[in-house]
Structure 1
Amino acid sequence: MECKSSKRMLRMPKAEGMLARTPSKKWVWLGLFVFHQFSLGFAHKTQVAIAKMGEEVTLPCCYETRSEDIPSNYRVYWQKNVTEVVIAYSFGNWLPNPINRSSLNQRTFALSITQVEISDAGSYTCIVQRVGSVKLCDQTVILSVIADFSQPAISLKKPSDCESSEVVVSCSSYGGFPKPKVSGFFNNVSVDWNTSLTSDAKTSLYNITGMARFNVTENMNLMCSVEYSDRTVSGEYPLTKPDNCESFKEDPPSHEVIIASITVLSIFLVAIILLVRYFRCSACERVRSSYNGTSQPTATEDETKLGTKTTMFQFCTMTSETSSF
């Protein structure tokens, strides 16, 4: 009896140890299952790709064949926004390709698009199947397209009143994507801009202009920035306070210049007319005196010379009558 009881006593710790290890083993398997599911979810999560307008982009797929595999054993689809087929390869046959700028890598099944356009942006899904099996994988890639904005251009509009130190500043940038915003600093103080935004109907590119008013009481610095996507293009510009009011004066209006020019021209023409009349009257007096002092012509006198004097006398007489009238 003592021996049996002792054996039982010896077996009890073994049984208790097995019972103690059972919950630990359960938690281990549960952890492995959760890790596996997490790994699958991580492997097929949505990816993001960014491309610049006019360049080439490559979108990765979720499957890569082995070196001994034959591409014709696979069916691969790339779809855009679920309904639009971008490219398709089915067991060695290419299906019609709506986007002739796209191509497929037959080893990695990656999709390449050349000369990227704004309209190419969207959600792309790669689906891979093998002969005689179900779908191997599918993966979604979100493609964002950007176009760089131009360097901001600053223009100033000064007040007509030279006593005022306020200026209106405009900051403009063109030809970018996606939708931007204008920011900046005036002497290290943030600026609130009134912005106007336009978009080209054909290219979808944006043009933006921001306007703000500043009191320029001294030489100051202005920084204007255009922010789009995760990018920024900016420039720094000095604003110089004018030394005196002369710098604010505008050029005289054009009609005043025209009136002054006409007045000067009129005085010049009147002076020329008076000079012409003066010299004409002096010449006529000399002709008239010569004619009155001439005797009756004889047969030996030059008739041609006398006729010329007569004609000049008549012309001067008519001129005098016209002037007196």
Structure 2
Amino acid sequence: MGDQNHWMQYAGHTSSHKSGVVQMTEVKAKVGGVAKLPCGYNIHSDNPLKRYGVYWQKFVGKGQTDQVALSYWEGKKDKIDPIYQNRTTMDQRNLTLWISSVKVSDEGKYTCLILKDPLYRRELYLSVEADFSNPIINVTRHACGSALVTLRCSSYGGYPKPNMSGLLNNKEVEWTPHSVSDNQTELINITSEWEHNVTEDIFFQCTVSYPGFSASASCTIPKECPVVKPPSHWIMIAVSVSLACAVVVAALANIQRTLSNIKHPSLSKLLGTVSDQFLSV
């Protein structure tokens, strides 16, 4: 218990160390995937885990209590922060920490502490990434005959904040991307808009990227509005005849329903004969 109290006293000071004092190793993981954080320490078979105090903690902020991702005391699981509950495991030989269902909020500095004489400490930085969707390009032409168009490029659900660039006929577009983070997942949506006078057919490309990731989309924008050909003369005649026949058939059917309520056998028979002759044409 004395050693455990010593740990609590030490934990209160670990966050105050400058990151430059202990060299950190960067580890990368994808959102929804599994992060592997090696402690770099091996336990020999003749010296079992129950003789160690092992703590994996995440730095939260100066003056704040670090989050415990996983800990073992005398060979048994000890403290763990609720946000890591059922998401962290540890290799009991090399003390590697595994974090499953990785979230953006898992990103940050982690420390592996082993209460053993001498005290062992290793820091790592977990970088979290999520691939953005392929960019979606929307082109809005203000009016046919007008040269002004609005180009809008959007990409969704990625992390970290990316760079969004545009090329118009291989020349860089000057625009200011706007990004918004989801309140729950912290994933980022990014959009850029640009207005341009189209005086010739142009080729437009939009790219979203961060180190190690890039996705692009492109389109060709014609100078003139697309020409919509009117239907041919014979198609118009066929459509008109079909509509006329449909109207006559509906009218006869309505008359037949009306007169069928009249209790006059000869009249109903005559109407039925006329309808049958028309429908057979």
Q: TM-score range by the shorter chain?
A: 0.5 to 0.7
Question: Could you tell me which of 167, 175, 178 is aligned with 1:196?
Answer: 178
Conservation of the 8 A alpha-carbon contact between 1:79 and 1:85: yes
Name segments (4+ residues, structure 1) moved above 6 Å: none
Q: Secondary structure at the match of 2:216?
A: strand
The residue aligned with 1:214 is 196
The residue aligned with 1:119 is 105
Conservation of the 8 A alpha-carbon contact between 1:72 and 1:91: yes
The residue aligned with 2:125 is 142
RMSD value, Cα = 2.5
Q: Secondary structure at the match of 1:148?
A: coil
Shift of 1:220: 2.4
Write the mapping of 1:1-325 to structure 2, written as runs, cut at 5 A.
Answer: 45-81=23-59, 83-98=66-81, 99=84, 100-130=86-116, 133-135=117-119, 137-160=120-143, 162=145, 164-242=146-224
- Whole-angstrom CA distance in 2 between matches of 1:176 and 1:191: 22
Match of 2:28, as an amino acid?
A: I
Q: Secondary structure at the match of 2:50?
A: helix
Shift of 1:200: 1.6
Match of 2:87, as an amino acid?
A: R
- Whole-angstrom CA distance in 2 between matches of 1:85 and 1:185: 47
Conservation of the 8 A alpha-carbon contact between 1:62 and 1:138: no
Shift of 1:217: 2.9
- Whole-angstrom CA distance in 1 between matches of 2:171 and 2:195: 13
Shift of 1:243: 6.5
Match of 1:85, as an amino acid?
A: V
Match of 2:33, as an amino acid?
A: E
Q: How many residues align?
A: 203
Query: Once the two structures are superposed, what CA deviation does each residue of 1:173-224 show, in whole Å capped at 9, x if it has no partner?
Result: 1111222231121111111123222222121121111011233333322110
Query: Once the two structures are superposed, what CA deviation does each residue of 1:254-300 show, in whole Å capped at 9, x if it has no partner?
Result: xxxxxxxxxxxxxxxxxxxxxxxxxxxxxxxxxxxxxxxxxxxxxxx
- Whole-angstrom CA distance in 2 between matches of 1:173 and 1:61: 37
Conservation of the 8 A alpha-carbon contact between 2:32 and 2:101: yes
Match of 1:92, as an amino acid?
A: G
The residue aligned with 2:250 is none
Uncovered stretches (5+) of structure 1, i.e. residues with no partner:
1-41, 248-325
- Whole-angstrom CA distance in 2 between matches of 1:52 and 1:222: 30
- Whole-angstrom CA distance in 1 between matches of 2:219 and 2:27: 35
- Whole-angstrom CA distance in 2 between matches of 1:185 and 1:239: 13
Query: Once the two structures are superposed, what CA deviation does each residue of 1:230-266 show, in whole Å capped at 9, x if it has no partner?
Result: 422212222222277x57xxxxxxxxxxxxxxxxxxx
Shift of 1:71: 2.0
Whose radius of gyration is greater, 1 or 2?
Answer: 1
Query: Once the two structures are superposed, what CA deviation does each residue of 1:23-79 show, in whole Å capped at 9, x if it has no partner?
Result: xxxxxxxxxxxxxxxxxxx9x620111111100111011311234432222221111
The residue aligned with 1:269 is none
Conservation of the 8 A alpha-carbon contact between 1:80 and 1:125: yes
- Name the structure where helix makes up a greater proportion of residues: 1
Q: Secondary structure at the match of 2:224?
A: coil
Q: Secondary structure at the match of 1:208?
A: strand
